[in-house]
Structure 1
Amino acid sequence: MDKDQVKEILESIKASADEKFETKAEVETKIETKADKAELEAVKEAIEAVTAKFDSIPAIVNKNEERSLELKSVNEAFVKSFEEKGEYSADIEVKAITQTAPVTGSVKPVLGLSGDLFAANPVRMLARKIDITGSTVTLPRKTGSYNAAVANATNKGTKASGDSAVAEVVITARTVNAAQDVTTESQEDIVGLDQFYAEDILAEIAAKEAMEHVVAVEAITNGVTTAANTGVTFADLNTLIHSVPVQYRQNGVLMLSTDAMAAIRELDEAGTGSKLIFDPIEAVDRFMGFRVVENGYMADMAAGNVIGAFGNWGRGLVLANRKTATLTRSNVTKLGHISYYGEMRSGIGEVDTNALRKLTVKA
């Protein structure tokens, strides 16, 4: 039932009621003046009929939402969008496609998209995430030589002297996008083309976002440098881990480039249990007891490159993004082609300079 049908029902109800009486006051007057019993019974029947018609009107909004959430594919979403707006587009909830498990209470359909390549970006998985509606978000950050997090580590419980202040960090959500042109013959001949290119576009967006996050890691304020420019040693990692204040070390995670990850698999401090080991209970690698994750987007081991970082990622970095990513298909492109396009808005920034330390290869 659409809005026009509802309007027609309401007008019919009003006309029916108007035929029986004009106002509530008129009914009351008739009762007070002991109007004809048969006429009052007719008014009563009219009121009951009006009530019954209102009760029979379905919950239109809820049904529309249910139909939207029943969409199972990108093609279904494109078709529905074209019927309603005259364009092929679909909005996907970012949270729903970037997590490995289904999101309870999602307000938008996932359309069969997994977005699993977002999970290959450990920065997205570890940083604190906030949803924004605008293009920027401003967060407070404490600066200066004194703060509660490092007071004990530096002064063993005594009150430290120094200055501190609160500054603002502005995180800008930039547009991360990707596009592909496809021949019209492919659209006609290949089954599931919309779904395939939607996944492909999201994969490219995930990779571009991950590379931007690496830039953010390289820009971390504090860090340590390896003793030599030929590789990473146990002493380098030990120095990195202990350069982070103990308060942030409790939930610390060591992130390393693929090269560095391969190198530490060969490290072994006999009898200390400090080599890289696999934790079968949590299915993660650990070094010195701390969880280790590989970031395949980080630079290889070479002089001057940032090859890792350690600390509390949820306190150190904040990832701000819009709630939805948009996918579109346009038939108005270059002759003989259609175009698939996708975009999402995402930004990242360092909000606590004490929480993370980066590892740089000696120049």
Structure 2
Amino acid sequence: MPSSSAPELRELSPGVLGVLVRRGADFAAAEDAVQEALVEAVRARERPADLKAWLVTVAWRKFLDATRADAARRRREDRVDAEPEPGRASDVDDTLQLYFLCAHPSLTPASAVALTLRAVGGLTTTQIAQAYLVPEATMAQRISRAKKTVSAVRFDRNGDVGTVLRTLYLVFNEGYSGDVDLAAEAIRLTRVLAAGIDHPEVAGLLALMLLHHARRTSRIAADGSLVPLAEQDRSRWDTEAIAEGVAILQAALARDRLGEFQAQAAIAALHADARTAAETDWVQIVEWFDELVALTDSPVVKLNRAVAVGEADGPQAGLKALSELDENLPRHTAVAAYLHERTGDLERAATLYTEAARQAPSLAERDHLIRQAARLNSHP
């Protein structure tokens, strides 16, 4: 099966995992069995006509073998049905149900997100640890404990919608960064969720994803460098995705049940509505950031609000807002550099850009900040 690519197998694995769990396999054992089946898929010489059905059959056999081999799990065999005959896999998509299982109320939100990204999103433990800024060993322990917790949970109870939404957004952002292209899958799953749940925040998240995704092709230059929003070629933005996102957002806002994803989507919509960066309605954006701060009290939101205040009321006002925040916040130094440059203090800005580059969470961002510092240092 050399023609089966890793992305294709990763796309199928959540559905296979869902089938095993629905049949009665506990979560941890089911995931182990699916991983073994994926290894066999990579090694197989011929590709079956129905890859998902083949994976389900192999994974189920792996699970049964492991169950029978472990004397401590003998009792579990009493509730395991006889092995089904090989055949076409069910067309039912269990992926979204798995998100709810991973977002079970017995898990903390952080553990729920981490488990979902590992078991359903297909991210490695290393990638998840980097997203959370914790050591890989710590994240591995967290995921292991979460797997044991949900192993005893029956596959018939939904988890928390808010946790599922945060999970989907983190998956989307991981894909949007270019490290693992999961953005399209996150949008697909959010569409499924929106079709099955009448919730304005689900619609708000879908709108937010579409509005951000519409700008994807303009965020990275041909040489791989980051392109700031103000410098992006807006003719390359996906106008159909923007129109769909705005329509979904307007319908959600009309229900007067504002949530954080709707507020974020409203900010993204205002950026998308501006024909040029100079025409951006920063006053309205600050107002939406005020709503978002009231909803979340997030330091990161307050940091982004400081940037918006600097655009709406001038860089000195932005620096005043920034001075009220913890200097250890991620990207605090980069924001300070930008605002100082806006005031005309180029020497201070160049120093801050250099310092921010050392703190950058990614290589692309580090290179961007280094270029900003070099640009100011070469200024007469």
Could you say which TM-score interval applies, normalised by the shorter chain? under 0.3
Q: Which has the higher helix share?
A: 2
Q: Which has the higher strand share?
A: 1
Task: Normalising by structure 1, report the TM-score.
Answer: 0.25
Q: Which has the higher contact order (CA 8 A, sep 6+)?
A: 1
Task: Normalising by structure 2, report the TM-score.
Answer: 0.24
